[in-house]
Amino acid sequence: MSTAHDSHDGAVDTATGVSTTGHEWDGIRELNNPLPRWWLWVFYATIVWAFGYWVLYPAWPLISSHTTGLLGWNSRSAVAMQLQDLQALRAETSMRLTNASLEEIEKTPDLLSLARAEGRVAFADNCAPCHGAGGGGAKGFPNLNDDDWLWGGTLADIQQTITHGIRSGDDEGHQGNMTPFGGVLSKADISAAADYVLSLSGAGPADTPSAKKGAAVFAANCAVCHGADGKGKQELGSKNLTDGIWLYGGDKATIMQTITNGRGGVMPAWAGRLSPTTIKALTVYVHTLGGGQ
Amino acid sequence: MTAPAVKTKTPPAAASADDAPLYEARRQIYPQSVRGRLRTIKWIVLAVTLGIYYFLPFVRWNRGPGAPDQAVLIDFPARRFYFFFIEIWPQEFYYVAGLLILAALILFLMNAVAGRVWCGYLCPQTVWTDLFMAVERLIEGDRRQRMVEDAGPWTLDKFAHKLMKHSVWLLIAWWTGGAWVLYFADAPTLVHELATFQAPTVAYVAIFTLTFTTYSLAGHMREQVCTYMCPWPRIQAALTDEYALNVTYRYDRGEPRGSVKKAAAARAEGKPAGDCIDCHQCVNVCPTGVDIRQGLQLACIQCGLCIDACNNIMDKVDRPRGLIAYESEANLEARVAGKPPVRRIVRPRTILYTALIVFAGGLMLFTLANRANEGLNAIHDRNPLFVKLSDGSLRNAYTLRLINKDLAERGFILTATGVPGATLSVVGTEGGPEGEVVTVGPDQTREVRVLLTTKDRLAPGTSLPVTFQIRDQKSGATATAVDHFIGP
């Protein structure tokens, strides 16, 4: 084997009549078939193109910034312009969504699919971190697919909750806490109350002495908010204790913890962060997840 | 016969590798005109293929109201492809994949039967180059005139010829680009828009790009596209075999070559004399500038013009035709060895390709003829997989996509079977006496959210198969989709 440029022997290949380059590998010699010249010029043209590109477009990193290019183009402003174009394109359909009432949107098939499509994206961006990608919820974050609503599940209720939030500091937002009873009730009373609450939802026996004692504790302390029948009061955001759906968990230990320490989750207010039209779309989306009343 | 003084660029003497250039200037090829059977076939193919390409967008096809009445249309905004009576939806893109597979198989079959017959007759590069060469010949004259004019000084005549040639070339190239964009929008409307500068920018950009590529590829690059750019010569060599018919110089008949007089004298003396009179007509007419007498080579596109040229000469010198002909390597070897001729068109390779073509084409036709005008897809909600309601019942949610390929609005009755005691509701519709009815607009799809609720207590870990069905209220046509109902 020979290395490049050490033996341009000028040998001519007999079969083709083409001279060889002098490169030989395992007895195979390389023929000297020159590339076409236009190919060379295309190569030069790409180099010239690169220089033009460096001058016209942002290209070279500097110590704290970069060259901006003579055209002043940058990808951020290009995206902004595309977004503007998109908004202009969507202005007409967007206006229909803005002008229609929530009920109208839900009854009109094309508006419904439009609102659901916009709502799905807004939900994924803003709501999914707490409520899950499909609104399935998590401990302390309500499942939006079921029919258990602390603050109401009608279109208007959902819109109100999204707009102003819960315990968000917004004056129009929902207020009200589950009061901690740790300093008020004895541990035995709390345990008895928990047994009674379990029996309300059918998860525990109602005729044990503890549950019977708990009924009295409940009537004295809890019925104010949760109602004498334990079905909760929507205007206070108090939970319906008779169904099998739990926000923080339905085992006795968790219920005792809830009674002892109280609860008060926060949902931020979205007014000001999202446009009213987006909140409308979100409302319809959440309502049509399946739990809407 | 004296040839005019022409400066021809000869290949550099390959005496020393150090002297050879690293990059080589293109050697201008001046193909001579030729008449003959294969040339006639090429003219016909050119007229038919270009005729189809340039005029097909203007063919109308009535599909009724609401649908475009262009026979062949790629409608990107509406995501539809129309081909006469066929309408392809995006989810049926496998038809396009099937067409590509079919095209590849047909190419293989053509190759197994007659080598690079695609290159010589049907390849767009060949067809447009042929057209551009015809224009060149019409304006600047035949081979000899063009060589003389190119070698001579610039005169008014020469300038006029060149200007005329490039103008006509650009005109054809422009029309080529223009015809291309007509496949993507209603042709008459777009022509009007283009003429009044109302057409979308992308149309002008596409026309400009294709004008430029047609002009440079068919006018200037020509045979270099085949030798340097096209992958097919490389692949083709691996796909062919010794029974494929290729444009071949029958050296056993042609050698030793010499002038007519010498050959006649040799024959009179009983010495061997070939039929090739070394007239170079086969080289002169070749659009890629190869000498077929050197055997099969990469640059040869096997258009067969050398066959026509040689046959004309053989007629003149009173020798039998077919010194250059479509001939298989096996037959050539058999003739040299004095064995009977080998003609094997039917062989495992061609049988296999034909069978595959029939199978793939038949499968596509069958599915095309039997495809339904309605369809249904189901996707189960993933978060949450199931929901427990306050009354203890269990619910699963699905997204169903209903497809209506009819050109009229249709109502579908939606049902679900497989879950005991389940009730079905569609978000946004109110169930009628027949159950949940979902209307889908003409030639559209509609996505609906479907809730399936059961009061039955399911054992933990239950997963029941569910069959969703849509039934056309009028025609009773059905489509189904299968999914699962998941319990706690």
Interface check B252 vs A, CB under 8 A: no
- A144 and A98 within one domain: yes
- A197 and A164 within one domain: no
- A152 and A202 within one domain: no
Is pLDDT at B240 greater than 90 in this prediction? no
- A278 and A156 within one domain: yes
Q: Residue B296 and residue B302: Cα distance in Å, rounded?
A: 9
Domain total in chain A: 2
| CA distance, residue A133 to nearest chain B CA (Å) | 6
Report phi then psi at A156, rounded to 5.
Answer: -65, -40
CB proximity list for A67: less than 8 A, separation 6 or greater: A54, A58, A59, A60
pLDDT, average across residues A173-181:
89
Interface check A250 vs B, CB under 8 A: no
Residues of chain B with C-beta less than 8 angstroms from the C-beta of A37? 23-26
Q: Are strands B72-75 and B23-24 parallel, antiparallel or unpaired?
A: unpaired
How many CB atoms sit inside 10 A of residue A42's CB?
10
Report the half-sphere exposure of B107 (CA within 13 A, side-chain side).
16
The closest alpha carbon to B243, from B358, B353, B348, B339, belongs to B348
- A209 and A123 within one domain: no
Domain assignment of residue A63, yes or no:
no
pLDDT, average across residues B421-450:
84
pLDDT, average across residues B420-445:
84
Option in B14, B228, B383 nearest A36 (CB): B228
Tally A–B CB contacts below 8 A. Answer: 109
Q: Residue B367 and residue B279: Cα distance in Å, rounded?
A: 57
Q: Which DSSP category does A289 fall into?
A: T
Mind spelling out the 3-state secondary structure of B384-435? CCCEECCCCCEEEEEEEEEEECCCCCEEEEEEEECCCCEEEEECCCCCECCE
Option in B224, B382, B439 nearest A36 (CB): B224
Is pLDDT at B4 greater than 70 in this prediction? no
Percent of chain A clearing pLDDT 70 (strictly above) = 96
Interface contact A9-B17, CB threshold 8 A: yes
Q: Check whether the bond before B384 is cis (ω within 30° of 0).
A: yes
Q: What is the pLDDT of residues A128-142, one digit of tens each?
A: 999 999 898 889 999
Selected residues 362-421 of chain B with any CB under 8 Å from a CB in chain A: 381-384, 387-392, 395, 397
Instruction: Enter the tokens of residue B485.
Output: 């109902």
Domain assignment of residue A46, yes or no:
no
Q: Are B137 and B33 in contact (CB under 8 A)?
A: yes
Q: What is the pLDDT of residues B367-379, one digit of tens each?
A: 988 888 899 999 9
Q: How many residues does chain A have?
A: 293
Interface contact B23-A20, CB threshold 8 A: no
CATH number at residue A253: 1.10.760.10
Q: Which DSSP category does A93 fall into?
A: H
Interface contact B16-A8, CB threshold 8 A: yes
Among A111-115, B26-30, B31-35, B253-257, the range with the most confident prediction by mean pLDDT is: B31-35
Among A32-36, B235-239, B262-266, B359-363, the range with the most confident prediction by mean pLDDT is: B359-363
Q: Are B119 and B226 in contact (CB under 8 A)?
A: yes
Q: Strand, coil or helix: what is B81?
A: strand
Interface check A180 vs B, CB under 8 A: no
How many CB atoms sit inside 10 A of residue B397's CB?
24
Q: Strand, coil or helix: what is B251?
A: helix
pLDDT for A53 equals 94
- A86 and A143 within one domain: yes
pLDDT grade for A293, boundaries at 50, 70 and 90: low
Determine the residue among A38, A231, A286 to mutate to test chain B binding: the one whose Cβ has the most chain B Cβ atoms within 10 Å: A38
Nearest CA in chain B to A290: B451
- The number of angstroms, rounded, from the C-alpha of A215 to the middle of its chain's C-alpha atoms is 42
Report phi then psi at B44, rounded to 5.
Answer: -65, -45
Option in B16, B382, B390 nearest A19 (CB): B16
Q: Are B282 and B369 in contact (CB under 8 A)?
A: no
User: In chain A, which residue ranges form alpha helices assigned H by DSSP?
Assistant: 37-56, 75-99, 102-107, 109-126, 128-131, 155-164, 187-200, 209-221, 223-226, 252-261, 276-287
Domain assignment of residue A32, yes or no:
no
Determine the residue among B220, B388, B410 to mutate to test chain A binding: the one whose Cβ has the most chain A Cβ atoms within 10 Å: B388
- A192 and A246 within one domain: yes
pLDDT for B174 equals 96
The residue to which tokens 């596209």 are assigned:
B225
Q: What is the pLDDT of residues A84-121, one digit of tens each?
A: 999 899 888 889 999 999 999 988 888 988 999 999 99
Residues of chain A with C-beta less than 8 angstroms from the C-beta of B386? none
pLDDT for B19 equals 57
Report phi then psi at B452, rounded to 5.
Answer: -120, 115
Residues of chain B with C-beta less than 8 angstroms from the C-beta of A15? none
Q: What is the pLDDT of residues A36-61, one digit of tens each?
A: 888 899 999 999 999 999 999 999 99
Interface contact A34-B446, CB threshold 8 A: no
Q: Strand, coil or helix: what is B332?
A: helix
Region of B435 on the Ramachandran plot (φ > 0 left; ψ -120 to 50 alpha; else beta) = left
Interface check A116 vs B, CB under 8 A: yes
pLDDT for B343 equals 82
Is pLDDT at B5 greater than 50 in this prediction? no
Is pLDDT at B136 greater than 60 in this prediction? yes
Q: Residue B329 and residue B249: Cα distance in Å, rounded?
A: 11
**Structural domain of A155:** 77-173+267-287
Domain assignment of residue A156, yes or no:
yes
pLDDT, average across residues B166-176:
96
Interface contact A19-B20, CB threshold 8 A: yes
Q: Strand, coil or helix: what is B379?
A: strand
Is pLDDT at B7 greater than 50 in this prediction? no
Nearest CA in chain B to A41: B23
pLDDT, average across residues A247-264:
92
- The number of angstroms, rounded, from the C-alpha of B31 to the middle of its chain's C-alpha atoms is 27
pLDDT for A122 equals 95
What ipTM was assigned to the predicted interfaces of this complex?
0.75
Is pLDDT at A256 greater than 90 in this prediction? yes
Domain assignment of residue A252, yes or no:
yes
Burial class (CB in 10 A: 0-12, 13-18, 19+), B268: exposed
- The number of angstroms, rounded, from the C-alpha of A198 to the middle of its chain's C-alpha atoms is 34
pLDDT, average across residues B353-360:
96
| CA distance, residue B484 to nearest chain A CA (Å) | 18
DSSP codes, A10-75: --B-TTT-PBEEEEEETTEEEE--PEEHHHHHHHHHHHHHHHHHHHHS---B-SSSB---TT---H
Dihedral through CA A48, CA A53, CA A56, CA A61, nearest 10?
Answer: -120
Option in B18, B22, B397 nearest A290 (CB): B397
Option in A12, A19, A37 nearest B24 (CB): A37
Interface check A15 vs B, CB under 8 A: no
Q: Are strands B436-440 and B463-472 parallel, antiparallel or unpaired?
A: unpaired
The closest alpha carbon to A176, from A109, A116, A262, belongs to A262
- A116 and A257 within one domain: no
Q: Are B70 and B57 in contact (CB under 8 A)?
A: yes
pLDDT for A120 equals 93
pLDDT grade for B261, boundaries at 50, 70 and 90: confident
pLDDT for A3 equals 41
How many CB atoms sit inside 10 A of residue A160's CB?
17
Q: Strand, coil or helix: what is B464?
A: strand
pLDDT grade for A9, boundaries at 50, 70 and 90: low
Q: Are strands B444-454 and B463-472 parallel, antiparallel or unpaired?
A: unpaired
Maximal CA-CA distance, chain A: 113
- A233 and A99 within one domain: no
* Strand partners of residue B488: none
- A214 and A131 within one domain: no
Interface check A32 vs B, CB under 8 A: yes
Domain assignment of residue A22, yes or no:
no
- A246 and A220 within one domain: yes
Q: What is the mean pLDDT of chain A?
A: 89
Residues of chain A with C-beta less than 8 angstroms from the C-beta of B18? 8, 10
Q: Are strands B394-404 and B444-454 parallel, antiparallel or unpaired?
A: antiparallel
Option in B20, B23, B395 nearest A36 (CB): B23
Interface check A139 vs B, CB under 8 A: no
The closest alpha carbon to A196, from A249, A188, A234, belongs to A188
Q: Which DSSP category does B216 fall into?
A: I
pLDDT for A76 equals 92
Residues of chain B with C-beta less than 8 angstroms from the C-beta of A111? none
pLDDT for A30 equals 84
pLDDT grade for A222, boundaries at 50, 70 and 90: very high
| CA distance, residue A12 to nearest chain B CA (Å) | 7
Q: Residue B423 and residue B435: Cα distance in Å, rounded?
A: 10
Q: Are A279 and A270 in contact (CB under 8 A)?
A: yes
pLDDT grade for B16, boundaries at 50, 70 and 90: very low
- A93 and A155 within one domain: yes
Q: Are A162 and A127 in contact (CB under 8 A)?
A: no
Domain assignment of residue A251, yes or no:
yes
CB proximity list for B341: less than 8 A, separation 6 or greater: B331, B334, B335
Q: Residue B81 and residue B456: Cα distance in Å, rounded?
A: 47
Q: Are A38 and B43 in contact (CB under 8 A)?
A: no
Interface check B291 vs A, CB under 8 A: no
Nearest CA in chain B to A291: B389
Is pLDDT at B83 greater than 50 in this prediction? yes
Q: Distance of CA A30 to CAs A4, A13, A42, A287, B16, Å? A: 11, 9, 25, 74, 14
| CA distance, residue B59 to nearest chain A CA (Å) | 33
Taking the model in full, what pTM does it have?
Answer: 0.76
Domain assignment of residue A169, yes or no:
yes
Q: Are B451 and B466 in contact (CB under 8 A)?
A: no
The residue to which tokens 């440029």 are assigned:
A5
Q: Residue B305 and residue B42: Cα distance in Å, rounded?
A: 9
Q: What is the mean pLDDT of chain B?
A: 89
